[in-house]
Amino acid sequence: MRLVIQKGMIQRTLETLSFDNTYARLPQAFYARLNPTPFSAPPYLIHANQFAAELIDLDPEQSTRPEFAELFGGNALAPGMEPLAMLYSGHQFGVYVPQLGDGRAILLGEATNERGERWDLHLKGAGMTPFSRDGDGRAVLRSTIREYLCCAAMQGLGIPTTQALCIVGSDDKVYREQIETGAMLVRMAPSHVRFGSFEVLYYRKQYDHLKTLADYVIDQHFPHLRDVDEKYAQFFTEVVARTARLIAHWQAVGWAHGVMNTDNMSILGLTMDYGPYGFMDDYDAGFICNHSDYNGRYAFNQQPYIGLWNLSCLAQALLPLAEKTALKAGLETYQPLFDREYQKQMREKVGLADEQTGDAELIQDFLGLLQGSHADYTMVFRELSTLSTKKDAVHEKVREHFLNRERFDEWAVRYRDRLRREHSHDEERCDRMNRVNPKYVLRNYLAQIAIEKAQHKDFSEVDRLFTLLQTPFADQPGMESYALPPPNWGKHLAVSCSS
């Protein structure tokens, strides 16, 4: 789903952007007020997202002005901005950490568009905050490019996500495993409140503040619940539903988050905090994209369970506001909703127009064939649309991906029989399947190539990938190589939390 620029909208300049910060009206226990720390070297624009700019009515041409990099590189503030670092805690790899918070990000404020929609502008890499612990508060070019491009990729795939307005670079040096170039990214979302935002208030026994935060989130983002009975339990149930649908999207597209800590879980059911993520190349149900996840807690096939586990942590944090039985009932809606949504999306991926007995087994058997053959997840699902129901049709294009071709042939007979039972038409089904099976995803090796070029101040590949990922389901002339599986060097790139 590509963001569409609406002609005739108000086109604001940097000077006429409308800013506020409703989060700053909350008690000071929720945050620490401070300004971004500018880079010592002059900031410069690396890339700007015209579609995200349109969400706040900002004329995309404004990005060509030097003031754009100054404002979104931490060197200047606009009227109405009230910068602050948000406080939260969270369970990291299953262990509760009492205080986390924005250690390298600052909430600049909310930009309001002509439709009255509010968008948080969150500056990542903005310098040290009281929550930085031992960090330097900076982001590196490598990590900002990965987040920027993956926001675009998820938006193009129709998966709920934070947005990224721009990347601003600098020649300042930042120390990670090696010396790297610093950069800042402006992340956008209707809210940056996380599960951990509630957890920190619960564990500190600040129940009045907990109620204040819940009322604020409901008022801002769930206004239909303001006056309902048991509104906090109802609110939780809606968060459960959003989270279940989000993770079903991840599983269907073959994407792993890598660090599903509760502090990285959006209260709005958005994908956020892009670190060691990964789109699967060869299908592997146990795919671990995070080099730092030594025990595989956040492996691909664990994500649905971790989503439930994280929601149980949120439910516990809401106990002072809602009855335990009501929260438990909300939690129990997760698994059936996830299963329903995931199976629906997988049926669409294999081109089934309706639901019949045996579909789940048919799909699971196909995934087993992919696993046994180390077949490319994205490519095979895309090419499955070419398999015909005609009696004597050959299917070598799909068949060649499998090591045990006799087993695939047996599965293909079952698949064709299933398609015929619903009177499937090849051409129409192919069109439907190509609308849900992307041709292009942000493979790690593609992001790595863009990063390596950018480290030499060649940002052309960032722009090329950004454009490609806007329309991942469409055939794009001259871009066929971007749909291919990675070369050997790109199959097992190590991506860690510092990414």
Query: pLDDT (tens digit, 9 = 90+) per residue, 252-289?
Result: 999 999 999 999 999 999 999 999 999 999 999 999 99
Please tell me the chain's helix, strand, coil percentages from 3-state DSSP, rounded to the nearest 5: 45, 15, 40
Domain ranges of the chain: 14-191, 196-344
The two structure tokens encoding residue 471 = 């329309």
End-to-end CA distance of the chain: 26
How confident is the model over 120-144, as a mean pLDDT? 94
Asked if residues 433 and 439 have their Cβ atoms less than 8 Å apart, the reply is no
Q: Does residue 492 have a pLDDT over 90? A: no
Cα 372 to Cα 395: distance, rounded to the nearest angstrom: 19
Type of residue found at 89: S
What is the structure's pLDDT at 1? 32
CA dihedral 167, 265, 91, 165 (to 10 degrees): 10
Considering the entire predicted model, what is its pTM?
A: 0.95
- Strand residues in 259-353 grouped as ranges (E): 278-279
Write phi, then psi, for 264 (nearest 5 degrees): -105, 15
Query: pLDDT (tens digit, 9 = 90+) per residue, 428-458?
Result: 999 999 999 999 999 999 999 999 999 999 9
What is the structure's pLDDT at 498? 60
Query: pLDDT (tens digit, 9 = 90+) per residue, 174-216?
Result: 988 889 999 999 999 999 999 999 999 999 999 999 999 999 9
Query: pLDDT (tens digit, 9 = 90+) per residue, 103-122?
Result: 999 999 999 999 999 999 99
- Pick the catalytic residue: 102, 120, 263, 376? 263
- Strand residues in 228-381 grouped as ranges (E): 255-256, 278-279
Query: pLDDT (tens digit, 9 = 90+) per residue, 5-17?
Result: 344 467 999 999 9
Residue 57 bears catalytic tag: no
